[in-house]
A and B are shown apart, each in its own frame.
Chain A
């Protein structure tokens, strides 16, 4: 996975086509931010931990996908059928393996610290980030790896606008993840999770197994981090769909989206992610004429500017809980 390099300004034949192209780029980048934000939010809501190991989990996801699909040829070695189907199954498998990492991390490092200051937990996850990344890079000799994305760098046309398949894939993936989350929150396990997030002691009093809620949220959070890592490594963002360590930093670019939307709101993750994504891409496209004043690469600063303005208006994020809960 490599850092998202925002391409130079892409001009189509006419203004409308340019807008359509830019719109899809913005929506796709916003979807990736939203996915990452969702992962942050799920983990924060349940365990009040800002998971700084998110980048390592995203990296692990891409790495697992590369291992599973490219190196081991799973499930292709047992299954017939089209390659893209194998690839999708491999993605699910990679997400599952990352979820397992999330479960282990939660059980070993987070659960013993429940009730400790948030800062302590955040430090632990930051340490995990470093450890997992180093293990991945040094012990496992992680050189940039091919992800073998089925659609590669292909794109399709809407009128005169050229849209990469990866953009559509990112949007569909984010849509599916949010839809799934929304459905999940209506199930018994989901209701238990929301109840625990709202009032842990009252949840305990109902007989909710709070430890299991923590485990589920870390597992799901890690899986979503893996998915966002995989989809963020695709062609238009990563040069040719490869996994490498500097991609872990991409995750931190989603932080403005999380903060803007509110750390404890799923809706906030979606809205915040899309706003930041659109702002970044549209600013890159339409303010390019002023690059001499704004400076090269100014669009990467835009998310933080938007976040800052957002925080000035709503210090808890757009959908965040306002009151600090009494313990």
Chain B
């Protein structure tokens, strides 16, 4: 469905951030994209959704195709129309607008009133907390509610593919679990999901397939269940240290080992 092939992205014509990234999101699946800070996860989202322009970024090589159509040179609004929506990193709800108005912006590409009303009802059923606060200004919602609003906003056009950029960012564990269940529910309703996360445990527990990024390319990929069991992933992303369960300090790890090179 979504296919990113050998993507290379350069910011300001000098900073090479993605260096031949290839990922694939098959129909109806949840795919997790993991990686440390600065590995290029958010840049990947921008490249897929056409937001590189705002950041003076450019796709210099490679392609992004969605349902067989090249989208790497399309306008953001055209990409939304083709069926890809996103929940941006840091939620980015319109804090000065009410909950309802935020949802209106989510459905702005759809001019069919009936379809919008239906989508609105669906979002309200999915997030009862929002239904109670429809008229309140989004900036006054709690972090968890704002995240739900951001997700609801992205669902207003009934997307084929939903991209979530670090939905667990800054949320309490209980809320993270709730967001996780919501993602599963959205996926069950027929939307493919590209889940970008630092919380590898959460992401891999619900994903079908996972990619691990480092400095602009995929260093490891595989079925989510397999990645969860992988020793390196466990050590570097899940915070588990070997079978014997002894505590290990990074001070004791050799320098070359800390800068892990992935072999897959």
Contact = CB atoms under 8 A, between A and B. Distances in A.
Chains A and B come from one and the same complex: yes
Interface of A: 188, 191-192, 194-195, 198-209
Contacts of B80: 205-207
Interface in B60-115: 76-77, 79-81, 85-86, 88, 92-97, 101-102, 104-106, 108-109
A192 B104 CA distance: 8
Contacts of A191: 97, 101, 104-105, 108
B227 interface: no
A202 to B, nearest CB: 4
A198 B97 contact: yes
B153 interface: yes
27 contacts: A188-B104, A191-B97, A191-B105, A192-B108, A195-B94, A195-B97, A195-B105, A198-B94, A199-B94, A201-B51, A201-B54, A201-B88, A201-B92, A202-B88, A202-B92, A202-B93, A202-B94, A204-B50, A204-B51, A204-B54, A205-B76, A205-B88, A206-B80, A206-B85, A207-B109, A208-B77, A208-B105
B97 A199 contact: no
Interface of B: 49-51, 54, 76-77, 79-81, 85-86, 88, 92-97, 101-102, 104-106, 108-109, 153, 157
Contacts of B86: 205
Nearest to B81: A207
Nearest to A206: B105
B153 A206 contact: yes
Contacts of A204: 50-51, 54, 76-77
A323 to B, nearest CB: 11
A198 B85 CA distance: 19
Contacts of B85: 205-207
Contacts of B92: 199, 201-202, 205
Contacts of A202: 88, 92-94
Given A198-B95, A204-B51, A206-B153, A188 B108 contact: yes
A188 B80 CA distance: 17
B41 to A, nearest CB: 16
B104 A207 contact: no
Contact of A203 (B49, B95, B105): B105
Contact of B97 (A194, A200, A208, A209): A194
Contacts of A206: 80, 85, 105-106, 108-109, 153
Contacts of B51: 201, 204-205
Contacts of A192: 105, 108
A207 B96 contact: no
B54 A207 contact: no
A213 to B, nearest CB: 10
A97 B77 CA distance: 30
Contacts of A199: 92, 94
Contacts of B77: 204, 207-209
Given A188-B108, A199-B92, A207 B101 contact: no
A207 B158 CA distance: 13
B96 A194 contact: yes
Nearest to B111: A188
A202 B49 CA distance: 11
Given A206-B105, A207-B80, A207-B108, A194 B94 contact: yes
Contacts of B153: 206
Contacts of B104: 188, 191
B150 to A, nearest CB: 9
Contact of A200 (B49, B54, B79, B109): B54
A206 to B, nearest CB: 5
Nearest to A208: B108
B99 to A, nearest CB: 12
A198 B96 contact: yes
Contacts of B101: 191, 194-195
Q: Which of B49, B77, B93, B105 has the most CB of A within 10 A?
A: B105
Instruction: Select the residue from B51, B54, B97, B106 with max chain A CB neighbours within 10 A.
Output: B54
Given A194-B97, A194-B101, A205-B88, 8 more contacts: A191-B105, A202-B94, A204-B77, A206-B105, A206-B108, A206-B109, A207-B77, A207-B85
Nearest to B45: A205
Contacts of A188: 104, 108
A116 B197 CA distance: 33
